[in-house]
Amino acid sequence: MVTDEAIFEAVGEVADPEVPVLTIADLGVLRGVRREGDEVVVTITPTYSGCPAMDLIRHEVELTLQSLHVHGRVETVLSPAWTTDWMTDAGKTKLTEYGIAPPSSTGPVLLQLSVRCPLCGSPNTSELSRFGSTSCKSLWRCNSCREPFDHFKAI
């Protein structure tokens, strides 16, 4: 029998269709794997209420379960609400390498920390718009290298 850990690891490899460099495990979208009788239940949580990627993610998880010959279903849970604090450090590193500035911690910060340009590393950046190409990102510009870039919003 495939263990719950092995299932978690396998479905955790499903990529986010909007930020394909991240897996749903990196994002913290994959919440858990449990058994209900002979059925495996995989729980996922959306990053934003209206996230259009959820249907595809659910489908990909189902395909992964089939490929493991596991009888199971996917359950979407809203609570506890997703937070960028669940993103793994590996995920944040991958984001930066991909050209998206990773979210900072949502905990208390005394000063407005600058968002570093993921391309040249300069802290001299400015926000163009609080809303970006997807719900989870905002749009920034680097004042040093002049390149625009996305920032994964901390929520």
Partner 1 sequence: MSDLFLYALRLGDDALISAQRTGEWIAAAPQLEEDVALGNIALDQLGQARSLLQYAGSLDGRTEDDLAYFRDEREFLNVQLCELPNGDFGFAMARLLYFATYQHLLYDELRSCADETLAGVAGKAVKEVAYHVDHATQWVLRLGDGTEESHRRMQAGLDALWPYTAELFESDALVQRLEVAVDPSTLHDAWSDRVLAVIDESTCERPSSSYQHSGGRSGRHTEHMGYLLAELQHVARSHPGATW
Q: Which residues bind partner 1 (CB under 8 A)?
A: 46, 48-52, 77-83, 128-133, 135, 139, 153, 155
Radius of gyration of the chain (CA): 17
* Shortest Cβ 133–partner 1 spacing (Å): 7
Instruction: Between 90 and 128, name the residue whose CB sits nearer to partner 1.
Output: 128
Residue corresponding to tokens 């493991």: 68
* Shortest Cβ 135–partner 1 spacing (Å): 5
Are 135 and 53 in contact by the 8 Å Cβ rule? The answer is no
Residue corresponding to tokens 């994959």: 30
In the structure, how many helices (H) and strands (E) does the chain have? 4, 7
Instruction: Between 93 and 126, name the residue whose CB sits nearer to partner 1.
Output: 126
**Phi-psi region at 134: left, alpha or beta (left = phi > 0; alpha = psi -120 to 50):** beta
Nearest to 153 by CA among 145, 134, 141, 144: 134
Instruction: Between 97 and 127, name the residue whose CB sits nearer to partner 1.
Output: 127
Instruction: Between 12 and 132, name the residue whose CB sits nearer to partner 1.
Output: 132
* Shortest Cβ 10–partner 1 spacing (Å): 27
Angle value at C-alpha 21, between 154 and 119, nearest 5 degrees: 70
* Shortest Cβ 128–partner 1 spacing (Å): 6
Instruction: Between 25 and 139, name the residue whose CB sits nearer to partner 1.
Output: 139
* Shortest Cβ 97–partner 1 spacing (Å): 25
32 strand-pairing partners: 43
